[in-house]
Amino acid sequence: MAAVRSAEDDNEECAMTGMTVGFIGLGAMGQGMAASLLRAGHRLLVWNRSPEPVAALVAQGADAAGRLADVFAAEAVVSMLADDRAVEQLLLDPTLLAGAKAAVHLNMATVSIALAERAETMHTEHSMGYVAAPVLGRPQVAAAGELNILAAGAETALAKAAPLLSAMGRRTWHFGTRASHANAAKISVNFLIACAIESMAEACSLAESHGVRPTDLVEMLSGTLFPGPIYSGYGAMVAERRYEPAGFRLPLGLKDVDLALTAGAAANVPLPFGSVLRDAFLDALAHGDGDKDWVAVAAVARRRAGLPA
């Protein structure tokens, strides 16, 4: 598994030969990714269901697209939508794809394996390259152009997408020529992060119930056994009960756990802890935490332990 050329190399090339890129989906992640493309010298045509993010990108130099068809008339299309339903409704329209002029579409959302396979087939039928390129990183990482990107697709499509991927990310990890492989990898990663959040929440609840400060526990863990951004970043949020602002909303966490369970069932892979996670996320939603970060699932472990929320 190899990375694409360095971001520095590709960004220098893009500054001279910027592409016309259509960008769909300007949520918390999409805004930063689109801004990174602008900084790299690409001409950007943006579309979003709500107008405010479009206006913000126009102020930075992008152009607003009146229709999705206008976006697909660009040289390349990048989309960052919330879920399968949004991608299905907006982008997998045979009429839209039949009239498209774009050479490649980069779908950077975390979607199901089944949708990835269907999307790749439909794009191939309309002679358009399709690259699945879900990302690792929160909004501030996207805004800095420092995402890790998990990419898969036909080699020709990946080659066309390479300058755009380098503009948005620190490194691109290749997972082969079948687009769905990138989505399988991303679903597995998010499942692992959800497991880590839940285990940290339970460990912190256990320690606190015996008089240990959770912040002390997490500081020790992230400085010894579990270094890295998951335990230091999410661990601190768990220990401090810091669930806002939401960098990744709790309903999206539930969506990703469900994606993992569905993918597991399709391949006869048991994920017993996935059922525990799903119930914990549903519990958090039932208690009104839907607008909080997905780390707010830690409040469920606290309630189970009889600790104050």
Exposure string over 28-59, b if 16+ CB within 10 A, otherwise e: bbbbbbbbbbbebbbbbbbbbeeeebbebbee
Residue 165 CA to residue 194 CA, distance in Å, equals 26
Angstrom distance (rounded) from CA 70 to CA 88: 18
Contact 241, 299 (CB under 8 A): yes
User: Residue 268: CB partners within 8 Å, gap ≥ 6?
Assistant: none
Task: Check if 186 is active-site.
Answer: yes
CA distance between the termini of the chain? 43
Catalytic residue among 101, 160, 186, 292: 186
Q: How far is CA 272 from CA 175, 260, 264, in A?
A: 26, 11, 10
Q: How far apart are CA 119 and CA 113, in angstroms?
A: 10
Could you give the residue numbers annotated as active site? Answer: 186
